[in-house]
């Protein structure tokens, strides 16, 4: 049990749908992250939040919209996605964004865009 | 950000020691070296982190030479459950960039 949960675990959506991914951490951490892992590609950092404030956006398309209402919850709102957005979306958290802070990952949401 | 290079895959047998070497020729003064393990359909899991010389924990050891241009993750007496992808990262903040990793297969 990593202390980071993600829902749903699997999601299939059409290109015109709107859906949201949810991440919750029970570790008392201040920083949270969204990563994307596509088949045959390295894990890609998408967004970083520290104390609910977004500190990094790695040129992610606007069809991905993150939301961090508090330090324990992180959402990724999805709309008008493309088939190439199909991937495993991983959430992680760490105590803060310092260099020596271990990141704890959730189990991921397997997203398929039809 | 410093780029890392590691073997794409490695095979080993149960009970053997496995050493995975990562090259990071452009590592900067403030960079740390971190290793993660990932099983299929799961998120990565932190294994070990170091800055220089040697670090050891209950899972692995990390050897870093004086020039810090490479590092070696050492897994003692691997078992079948150690079959996974192992990622070497160099990070100067928490903006971690994962490479392709090394796919380790442990055989009986």
Q: What is the pLDDT of residues A46-101, one digit of tens each?
A: 999 988 888 877 789 999 999 999 999 999 999 999 999 999 999 999 998 766 78
Percent of chain A's residues with pLDDT above 70? 96
pLDDT band at residue A2, thresholds of 50, 70 and 90?
low
Q: Are B24 and B90 in contact (CB under 8 A)?
A: yes
Which residues does chain A have within 8 Å of residue B32's beta carbon, measured at their own beta carbons? 99-100
Cis? peptide before A8, omega within 30° of 0: yes
Instruction: Using CB atoms, pick whichever of A45, A90, A102 lies closest to residue B95.
Output: A45
pLDDT value of position A50: 87
pLDDT at residue B29 is higher than 90? no
What's the mean per-residue pLDDT of chain A?
Answer: 91
Instruction: Using CB atoms, pick whichever of B30, B94, B100 lies closest to residue A101.
Output: B94
In chain B, DSSP finds a helix count (H) and a strand count (E) of 0, 9
pLDDT band at residue B30, thresholds of 50, 70 and 90?
confident
Look at phi and psi of residue A40 and say left if phi exceeds 0, alpha if psi is from -120 to 50, else beta: left
pLDDT at residue B1 is higher than 60? no
10 Å CB burial of residue A114 (0-12, 13-18, 19+) is exposed
Bridge partners of A20, per DSSP, are: A77
Task: Report d(CA B70, CA B21) in Å as an integer.
Answer: 7
First to last CA, chain B: 38
pLDDT band at residue B37, thresholds of 50, 70 and 90?
very high
Bridge partners of B71, per DSSP, are: B22
Percent of chain B's residues with pLDDT above 70? 94
Task: Report d(CA A66, CA B20) in Å as an integer.
Answer: 36
pLDDT value of position A59: 85
Look at phi and psi of residue A5 and say left if phi exceeds 0, alpha if psi is from -120 to 50, else beta: beta
Chain length of chain A: 114
For residue A99, give the chain B residue with the closest CA.
Answer: B93
pLDDT band at residue B82, thresholds of 50, 70 and 90?
very high
Task: Report d(CA B92, CA B95) in Å as an integer.
Answer: 8
Q: Determine, for residues B94 and A106 on separate chains, whether the beta-carbon distance falls below 8 Å.
A: no
For residue B105, give how far its alpha carbon lies from the nearest alpha carbon of chain A (Å): 17
pLDDT band at residue B99, thresholds of 50, 70 and 90?
confident
pLDDT at residue A41 is higher than 90? no
pLDDT value of position A62: 93
The pair of three-digit structure tokens given for residue A111, joined into one six-digit string = 């997203």
């Amino acid at each position: 049990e990593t202390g980071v949960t993600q829902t749903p675990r699997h999601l299939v959506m059409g290109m015109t749908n709107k859906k949201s991914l949810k991440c919750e951490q029970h570790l008392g951490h201040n920083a949270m992250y969204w990563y994307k892992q596509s088949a045959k590609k390295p894990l890609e950092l998408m967004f970083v939040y520290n104390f609910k404030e977004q500190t990094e956006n790695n040129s992610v398309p606007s069809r991905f919209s993150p939301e961090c209402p508090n330090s324990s919850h992180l959402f990724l709102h999805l709309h008008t996605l493309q088939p190439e957005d199909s991937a495993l979306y991983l959430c992680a958290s760490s105590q803060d964004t310092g260099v020596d802070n271990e990141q704890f990952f959730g189990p991921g949401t397997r997203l398929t865009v039809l | 950000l410093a780029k890392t290079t590691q073997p794409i895959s490695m095979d080993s047998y149960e009970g053997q020691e496995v050493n995975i070497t990562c090259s990071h020729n452009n590592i900067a003064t403030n960079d740390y070296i971190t290793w993660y393990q990932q099983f299929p359909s799961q998120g990565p899991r932190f294994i070990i982190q170091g800055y220089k010389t040697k670090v050891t924990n209950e899972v692995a050891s990390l050897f870093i030479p004086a020039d810090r241009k490479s590092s070696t993750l050492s897994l003692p007496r691997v078992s079948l459950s150690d079959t996974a992808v192992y990622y070497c990262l160099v990070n100067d903040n928490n903006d971690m960039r994962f490479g392709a990793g090394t796919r380790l297969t442990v055989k009986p």
